[in-house]
């Protein structure tokens, strides 16, 4: 049964509305960020800055912190199906296989077969009504990314996320450099969004300059991590989240 066919699949109403309006904003604290203080600040900034939902690591303490910091839906990311199933029992509103960037620096890659296997195992142990997002590894050729996304939806992925920030090497400063940084994930969002019927979230390497481009490329929302979670001041974090929200309000972009 595909994700479109599951009658009980549900998404928090605020998040569903944001995807319908193509302006979802996910703030990511980091797959391997287990620092309670850091995660709390990121979640607070997301709530106060106008984000749609937050993405945190799979740890019960962090889920409790995120739930107590505000009303935003909480997504938990991991690459272990059992951790994701446990996160749902601990209060996660949706789960995600992915945010692989932290593994690349360790020399670890994820093949299409591995992602498919993780997705099948995760879907099998999750409650039917829990939304499952899956990130497509950006180190795969673009045509393979598209094919993988189609297969992921067929076996139960409800959202597809793109990435690519770690593979880009901007050679210019300023706005041009920001666009260069976002090129891989924008390309993936463009290609994948035209191949699947579920929402595509464009993430990794984005800024307030490029989030409108992600929506124009076909994404229904964006995910932003390091632009926020690398900061150490809550006011500065809130300011970045608000700038991203304002950038997403610019709707004068035609689909490209």
pLDDT tens by residue, 128-158: 999 999 999 999 999 999 999 999 999 999 9
- Determine the Cα–Cα distance for residues 92 and 70; give it in Å rounded to an integer: 14
**Res 2: pLDDT:** 39
Q: Indicate the pairing of strand 24-28 with strand 200-203.
A: unpaired
Reported as a single tens digit per residue, the pLDDT across 53-71 is 999 999 999 999 999 999 9
Fold annotation for 15-247: TIM Barrel (3.20.20)
Q: Write out the two tokens for 189.
A: 């969002």
- Determine the Cα–Cα distance for residues 122 and 97; give it in Å rounded to an integer: 8
Cβ 252 vs Cβ 222: under 8 Å: no
* Confidence check: pLDDT of 6 > 70: no
Q: Write out the two tokens for 240.
A: 């970045």
- pTM summary value: 0.92
What is the tally of helices (H) and strands (E) in the chain? 11, 8
- Determine the Cα–Cα distance for residues 189 and 203; give it in Å rounded to an integer: 9
**Res 100: pLDDT:** 87
């Amino acid at each position: 049964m595909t994700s479109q066919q599951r009658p009980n699949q549900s998404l928090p109403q605020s998040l569903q509305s944001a995807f319908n309006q193509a302006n979802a904003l996910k703030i990511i604290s980091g797959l391997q960020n287990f620092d309670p203080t850091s995660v709390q600040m990121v979640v607070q900034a997301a709530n106060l800055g106008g984000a749609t939902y937050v993405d945190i690591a799979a740890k019960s303490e962090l889920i409790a912190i995120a739930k107590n910091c505000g009303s935003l839906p909480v997504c938990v990311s991991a690459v272990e199906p059992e951790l994701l199933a446990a996160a749902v029992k601990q209060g996660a509103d949706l789960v995600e296989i992915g945010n692989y960037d932290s593994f690349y620096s360790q020399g670890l890659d994820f093949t299409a077969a591995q992602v498919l296997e993780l997705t099948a195992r995760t879907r099998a142990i999750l409650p039917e009504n829990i939304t499952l997002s899956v990130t497509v590894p950006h180190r795969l050729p673009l045509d393979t990314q598209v094919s993988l996304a189609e297969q992921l939806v067929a076996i139960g992925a409800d959202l597809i996320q793109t990435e690519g920030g770690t593979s880009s090497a901007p050679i210019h400063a300023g706005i041009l450099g920001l666009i260069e940084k976002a090129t891989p994930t924008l390309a993936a969002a463009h290609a994948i969004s035209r191949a699947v019927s579920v929402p595509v979230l464009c993430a990794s390497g984005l800024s307030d300059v490029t989030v409108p481009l992600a929506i124009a490329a076909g994404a229904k929302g964006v995910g932003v991590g390091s632009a926020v979670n690398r900061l150490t001041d809550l006011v500065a974090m809130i300011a970045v989240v608000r700038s991203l929200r304002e950038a997403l309000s610019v709707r004068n972009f035609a689909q490209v």
